[in-house]
Structure 1
């Protein structure tokens, strides 16, 4: 019987392939839970009065790390189940804030794909990921390099 919900194999991710995830709305509860779980209890995330009176950012803002973690969660659900073996590194750039009430999704483009020299049956895939808000504004960009399972031992 076929198992649904499995991730992409290396062969499914040639350079130039693009796709996007479903969206997720960030809530006040998400921000509160993330801030408390991570210890990011700075006033920017915990003090509405500070935001109103002193901050250049107005509104209930989410940590950039929350937007990144939500983006990874959206990607893992649909692209890496049973096929993503390692996260090897990335660069991340925060472009715009994410606020409570914003809905984000991830747009991905495969920019590098090569077979692993050290691990047979594995490929290395780098994507350029944009986390996009409902109004089209890009919240952050990052370019993870991941080790992905090949469908066959040779990876072809």
Structure 2
């Protein structure tokens, strides 16, 4: 019997494949809990008067690291569930702000996919992950390299 909810194997991720995740709304409690948990209690995230007066933003700003963690969670729940083995590195650019109330999702494109030369049964996949808000604005782009499982011999797609 098939188990649903598992991630993609190397064979499911050829170069050029594209997919997107479901959305996740960032809430004010998410931001407050995150900044307090990691100690990122700088005025940019704790003082809305400073944010408006000195930074020129309205609303509660979400740290880019929170946005990254949320979208990695969206990917872990779907594309990498049970098949992801290691996060090996990335380049990351923050393109715009994310605020409480914004709904974000990830649009992924496989830009590199190959079997591991040194680890049998494993492959390396690099994706271009674009984080998009509800207005269609790209707020972050990053290109992680992951080690993932290959499909076990004899297992059907």
Give the TM-score of the pair, scaled to structure 1. Answer: 0.95
CA drift of 1:56 comes to 2.5
Which runs of 5 or more structure 2 residues have no equivalent in the other structure? none
2:50 matches 1:50? yes
Q: How does 1:7-156 map to 2 (within 5 A)?
A: 7-152=7-152
The count of corresponding residues between Structure 1 and Structure 2 is: 153
Matching residue of 1:6: 6
CA drift of 1:51 comes to 1.4
How far apart, in 2, do the equivalents of 1:8 and 1:65 lie?
25
CA drift of 1:52 comes to 2.5
- Please identify runs of 4+ aligned residues in structure 1 that moved more than 3 A: none
- What is the CA deviation profile of residues 49-102 of structure 1, one whole-angstrom value per residue up to 9, with x for unaligned ones? 211222222321100001111010011101111100000000000000000000
Give the TM-score of the pair, scaled to structure 2. Answer: 0.95
CA RMSD in angstroms comes to: 0.9
How far apart, in 1, do the equivalents of 2:23 and 2:15 lie?
24
Which runs of 5 or more structure 1 residues have no equivalent in the other structure? none
How far apart, in 2, do the equivalents of 1:52 and 1:134 lie?
22
How far apart, in 2, do the equivalents of 1:72 and 1:122 lie?
20
How far apart, in 2, do the equivalents of 1:56 and 1:148 lie?
42
How far apart, in 2, do the equivalents of 1:144 and 1:21 lie?
16
Moved more, 1-10 or 50-59: 50-59
How far apart, in 2, do the equivalents of 1:84 and 1:54 lie?
42
How far apart, in 1, do the equivalents of 2:85 and 2:74 lie?
17
